[in-house]
Protein backbone atom coordinates (compact mmCIF):
# COMPACT_ATOMS: atom_id res chain seq x y z
CA UNK A 1 0.00 0.00 0.00
CA UNK A 2 1.21 3.52 -0.84
CA UNK A 3 1.64 5.97 2.05
CA UNK A 4 2.35 9.69 2.04
CA UNK A 5 4.10 11.16 5.09
CA UNK A 6 5.10 14.73 5.75
CA UNK A 7 7.81 15.70 8.21
CA UNK A 8 8.31 19.25 9.38
CA UNK A 9 12.04 19.49 10.11
CA UNK A 10 14.44 22.10 11.41
CA UNK A 11 16.20 23.83 8.55
CA UNK A 12 19.75 22.71 9.37
CA UNK A 13 22.58 21.21 7.32
CA UNK A 14 22.61 17.41 7.25
CA UNK A 15 18.94 16.82 8.14
CA UNK A 16 18.09 15.30 4.75
CA UNK A 17 21.14 13.02 4.85
CA UNK A 18 20.36 11.97 8.41
CA UNK A 19 16.74 11.11 7.69
CA UNK A 20 17.32 9.37 4.35
CA UNK A 21 20.24 7.45 5.89
CA UNK A 22 18.08 6.33 8.79
CA UNK A 23 15.37 5.09 6.42
CA UNK A 24 17.89 3.31 4.17
CA UNK A 25 19.65 1.64 7.11
CA UNK A 26 16.32 0.15 8.18
CA UNK A 27 15.56 -1.04 4.62
CA UNK A 28 12.62 1.35 4.07
CA UNK A 29 12.37 2.11 0.36
CA UNK A 30 11.51 5.72 -0.46
CA UNK A 31 9.45 5.89 -3.66
CA UNK A 32 9.46 9.68 -3.71
CA UNK A 33 11.07 12.38 -1.58
CA UNK A 34 10.65 16.14 -1.89
CA UNK A 35 12.09 18.77 0.42
CA UNK A 36 11.36 22.46 0.38
CA UNK A 37 10.99 25.67 2.31
CA UNK A 38 7.93 26.45 4.39
CA UNK A 39 6.25 29.63 5.55
CA UNK A 40 8.76 29.62 8.46
CA UNK A 41 12.41 30.17 7.45
CA UNK A 42 13.54 27.92 10.31
CA UNK A 43 11.62 24.90 8.98
CA UNK A 44 11.57 22.72 5.87
CA UNK A 45 8.92 20.21 4.86
CA UNK A 46 9.90 16.73 3.68
CA UNK A 47 7.25 14.71 1.87
CA UNK A 48 7.87 10.96 1.59
CA UNK A 49 6.00 8.40 -0.47
CA UNK A 50 6.59 4.87 0.79
CA UNK A 51 5.14 1.48 -0.07
CA UNK A 52 4.38 -0.93 2.73
CA UNK A 53 1.82 -2.20 5.15
CA UNK A 54 0.51 -0.42 8.24
CA UNK A 55 3.24 -1.97 10.41
CA UNK A 56 5.96 -0.59 8.12
CA UNK A 57 4.33 2.84 8.09
CA UNK A 58 4.08 2.84 11.88
CA UNK A 59 7.79 1.94 12.16
CA UNK A 60 8.80 4.72 9.77
CA UNK A 61 6.71 7.29 11.63
CA UNK A 62 8.11 6.27 15.02
CA UNK A 63 11.69 6.34 13.73
CA UNK A 64 11.18 9.81 12.25
CA UNK A 65 9.65 11.11 15.50
CA UNK A 66 12.77 10.01 17.42
CA UNK A 67 15.02 12.33 15.40
CA UNK A 68 15.65 15.59 17.27
CA UNK A 69 15.51 17.79 14.16
CA UNK A 70 12.04 16.46 13.25
CA UNK A 71 9.41 18.79 14.68
CA UNK A 72 6.29 16.94 13.54
CA UNK A 73 5.30 13.98 11.36
CA UNK A 74 1.94 13.87 9.61
CA UNK A 75 0.53 10.68 8.08
CA UNK A 76 -1.79 11.55 5.20
CA UNK A 77 -3.33 8.07 5.11
CA UNK A 78 -7.12 8.18 5.37
CA UNK A 79 -7.09 11.99 5.31
CA UNK A 80 -8.23 14.50 2.75
CA UNK A 81 -5.12 15.98 1.13
CA UNK A 82 -3.87 17.55 -2.07
CA UNK A 83 -0.76 16.13 -3.73
CA UNK A 84 1.10 17.31 -6.80
CA UNK A 85 4.07 16.31 -8.91
CA UNK A 86 5.93 18.62 -11.29
CA UNK A 87 7.62 17.52 -14.50
CA UNK A 88 9.71 19.12 -17.22
CA UNK A 89 9.68 17.14 -20.44
CA UNK A 90 11.58 17.77 -23.67
CA UNK A 91 9.71 16.30 -26.66
CA UNK A 92 10.73 16.08 -30.31
CA UNK A 93 8.67 18.11 -32.76
CA UNK A 94 10.41 16.84 -35.91
CA UNK A 95 8.14 16.18 -38.86
CA UNK A 96 5.73 19.04 -38.26
CA UNK A 97 4.32 17.60 -35.03
CA UNK A 98 4.58 20.89 -33.06
CA UNK A 99 0.86 21.69 -33.47
CA UNK A 100 -0.21 18.24 -32.27
CA UNK A 101 2.10 18.41 -29.25
CA UNK A 102 0.85 21.92 -28.41
CA UNK A 103 -2.77 20.72 -28.55
CA UNK A 104 -2.03 17.80 -26.19
CA UNK A 105 -0.19 20.12 -23.80
CA UNK A 106 -3.31 22.31 -23.67
CA UNK A 107 -5.59 19.32 -23.05
CA UNK A 108 -3.43 18.25 -20.08
CA UNK A 109 -3.24 21.86 -18.81
CA UNK A 110 0.52 21.99 -19.18
CA UNK A 111 2.51 24.77 -20.76
CA UNK A 112 5.35 25.04 -23.19
CA UNK A 113 8.23 26.80 -21.45
CA UNK A 114 10.94 26.59 -24.13
CA UNK A 115 10.95 26.11 -27.88
CA UNK A 116 13.85 24.79 -29.92
CA UNK A 117 14.22 24.11 -33.63
CA UNK A 118 13.37 20.40 -33.23
CA UNK A 119 11.78 20.16 -29.79
CA UNK A 120 9.67 21.85 -27.12
CA UNK A 121 10.06 21.78 -23.37
CA UNK A 122 6.84 21.27 -21.44
CA UNK A 123 6.02 21.97 -17.81
CA UNK A 124 3.16 20.02 -16.30
CA UNK A 125 1.94 19.66 -12.74
CA UNK A 126 -0.71 17.44 -11.23
CA UNK A 127 -1.44 14.14 -9.61
CA UNK A 128 0.85 11.22 -10.36
CA UNK A 129 -1.67 9.50 -12.64
CA UNK A 130 -2.04 12.67 -14.75
CA UNK A 131 1.74 12.96 -15.17
CA UNK A 132 2.01 9.27 -16.04
CA UNK A 133 -0.82 9.57 -18.60
CA UNK A 134 0.87 12.58 -20.20
CA UNK A 135 4.15 10.67 -20.49
CA UNK A 136 2.31 7.83 -22.24
CA UNK A 137 0.73 10.28 -24.71
CA UNK A 138 4.11 11.94 -25.43
CA UNK A 139 6.12 8.72 -25.98
CA UNK A 140 5.18 8.35 -29.67
CA UNK A 141 6.52 11.87 -30.35
CA UNK A 142 9.91 11.01 -28.89
CA UNK A 143 10.79 12.00 -25.34
CA UNK A 144 14.27 13.51 -25.42
CA UNK A 145 14.68 14.28 -21.70
CA UNK A 146 12.50 14.24 -18.63
CA UNK A 147 12.79 15.22 -14.98
CA UNK A 148 10.21 14.97 -12.20
CA UNK A 149 10.04 16.34 -8.71
CA UNK A 150 9.02 14.14 -5.84
CA UNK A 151 5.45 14.44 -4.76
CA UNK A 152 4.45 17.24 -2.44
CA UNK A 153 1.30 17.22 -0.34
CA UNK A 154 -0.68 19.23 2.20
CA UNK A 155 -3.77 18.37 4.19
CA UNK A 156 -6.89 20.17 3.04
CA UNK A 157 -7.89 20.98 6.61
CA UNK A 158 -6.13 23.96 8.19
CA UNK A 159 -6.69 22.41 11.63
CA UNK A 160 -4.29 19.47 11.18
CA UNK A 161 -1.46 21.58 9.77
CA UNK A 162 -1.59 23.91 12.76
CA UNK A 163 -1.74 21.30 15.51
CA UNK A 164 -0.31 22.05 18.95
CA UNK A 165 3.08 23.74 18.70
CA UNK A 166 6.13 21.66 19.48
CA UNK A 167 8.39 22.89 22.28
CA UNK A 168 11.47 22.40 20.09
CA UNK A 169 10.61 25.34 17.88
CA UNK A 170 8.36 28.29 18.44
CA UNK A 171 7.94 30.30 15.25
CA UNK A 172 8.30 34.05 15.43
CA UNK A 173 5.04 35.98 15.03
CA UNK A 174 4.59 37.74 11.69
CA UNK A 175 5.77 41.36 11.59
CA UNK A 176 3.10 43.96 12.12
CA UNK A 177 1.93 45.75 9.06
CA UNK A 178 2.88 49.40 8.77
CA UNK A 179 0.69 51.90 7.04
In order of their start, the domains of the chain are 2-79+157-161 (3.30.70.260), 82-152 (3.30.70.1150)
CB of 74 within 8 A of CB of 45?
Answer: no
Tell me the per-residue pLDDT of 18-30, one tens digit each, with 9 for 90 and over. Answer: 998 888 888 888 8
Rounded CA-CA distance 159/140 in Å is 45
DSSP H or E stretch at residue 158: helix 158-161
Q: What is the pTM of this model?
A: 0.74
Q: What is the pLDDT of residue 17?
A: 92
Q: What is the pLDDT of residue 158?
A: 60
Rounded CA-CA distance 143/41 in Å is 38
Res. 171: pLDDT tops 80:
no
* Rounded mean pLDDT, 153-176: 55
Rounded CA-CA distance 147/158 in Å is 31
pLDDT-based confidence at 145, cuts 50/70/90? very high
Amino acid sequence: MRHVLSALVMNQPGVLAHISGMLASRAFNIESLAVGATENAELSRMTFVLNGDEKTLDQVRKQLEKILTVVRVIDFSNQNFVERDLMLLKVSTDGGKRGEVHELVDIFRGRIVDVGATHVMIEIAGQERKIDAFIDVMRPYGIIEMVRTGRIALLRSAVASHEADDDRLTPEPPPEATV
